[in-house]
Amino acid sequence: MKLMRVFDKREEDQNDFILGNLKIAPDIYEALLHGNPVVALESTIISHGMPYPQNLQTAKEVEAIVRENGAVPATIAILDGVPCIGLNNAQLERLAKLGINAQKTSRRDIPHVVAAGSNGATTVSATMFFASKVGIPIFVTGGIGGVHRHGETTMDISSDLTELGKTPVAVISAGVKSILDIPRTLEYLETQGVTVAAYKTNEFPAFFSGTSGCKVPCRVDTPEQCARLIHANLKLGLGSGMLIAVPIPEKHVSAGNVIESAIQKSLEEAKLKNVTGNAATPFLLARVNELTGGVSLAANITLVKNNAFVGAKIAVALANLQQ
């Protein structure tokens, strides 16, 4: 299947292809047109998830890993009001330097950022939306949003979960952080009809730790097996997304206890300072980074790179199935 068959090239602008109101980088356009593997990447992880300059360095390294493993990386963000599928080095640098001055953009924020002509770093939900629009079925990130602790009363449930329920993109992540309520996050994903699979494990990983105490409904052991799962989902037209959870590489697990106590402290601080809504996740991520003196950042970088490696392999296996 040629993923981009539906589109035709309408206009060329500084080497990017304009499709409707989206811009697609030329290498991504070519790959999609020929059914070659592409991996979508989000940008809130760059602006709000890591400090500068590690965010820029990691973004570039993640793209390089995707390329080395046979797929084309497509980092997605909104720049000057234009949704961009694929950022060049200058654009990546601009976003990394903007940091939290870029607007954290979830699905609900997209119209506003576009209409205002501003810069938006896309979260998992907004990135999935754009990836799906241009026909990218695979998306790699670090961790996704979920049901926040006490979400049963605050109703703070990330739009990442509802997006997974309605957008057919497979998200490769290291599970969800224990800043969230993991059992309720999995319940909510079931309600949304989202297939959750764990990679080479029977347990759902908790980002900094390979274990969460929660069993997954489905286990996959190879990129090919993952690809068959995604292919079945797409062919059946279920319309929902998929979460492929890849545990953090073993050598970083030892930092788990230090990080867990920092998470507990950050959660208490957030409560005292009354940090809520879409400010909660960035606040918690930044505080955990500070409190662990960079230990959590190093672990975060390692797992994102590992996810990029696995995600690229899955994208290649899926493209082979779809040829």
Q: In angstroms, what is the minimal distance from the CB of 186 to ligand PSU?
A: 16
Q: In angstroms, what is the minimal distance from the CB of 225 to ligand PSU?
A: 25
Window of 7-15, 76-84, 112-120, 136-144 that interacts with ligand PSU by CB under 6 A: 136-144
Residues 43-62 that bind ligand PSU (CB under 6 A): 44-45, 49
Window of 28-36, 38-46, 56-64, 87-95 that interacts with ligand PSU by CB under 6 A: 38-46
Q: Which of 23, 42, 63, 313 is catalytic?
A: 42
Closest-by-Cβ residue to Mn ion is: 156
Q: Which of 177, 203, 305, 313 is catalytic?
A: 177
Q: Environment class of residue 109 by beta-carbon count within 10 Å: exposed (0-12), middle (13-18) or buried (19+)?
A: buried
- State yes or no: residue 241 binds ligand PSU (CB under 6 A): no
Which of 190, 182, 189 minimizes the C-alpha distance to 209? 182
Alpha-carbon distance of 120 to 282, in angstroms, equals: 15
Alpha-carbon distance of 3 to 32, in angstroms, equals: 6
Contact 173, 245 (CB under 8 A): yes
Which of 88, 69, 66 minimizes the C-alpha distance to 79? 88
Which CB sits closer to Mn ion, 86 or 145?
145
HSE-CB for 313 with a 13 A CA cutoff:
15
Active site residue 273: no
Window of 27-35, 74-82, 102-110, 148-156 that interacts with Mn ion by CB under 5 A: 148-156
Contacting residue, 109, 156, 160, 163, with Mn ion by CB under 5 A: 156
- Name 259's Cβ contacts closer than 8 Å, sequence gap at least 6: 208, 288, 292, 295, 296, 299
| Cis amide prior to 53 (ω within 30 degrees) | yes
Active site residue 42: yes
Where on the chain is the footprint of Mn ion (CB under 5 A)?
156
Where on the chain is the footprint of ligand PSU (CB under 6 A)?
42, 44-45, 49, 106, 123-124, 142-145, 158-160, 177, 278, 281, 285
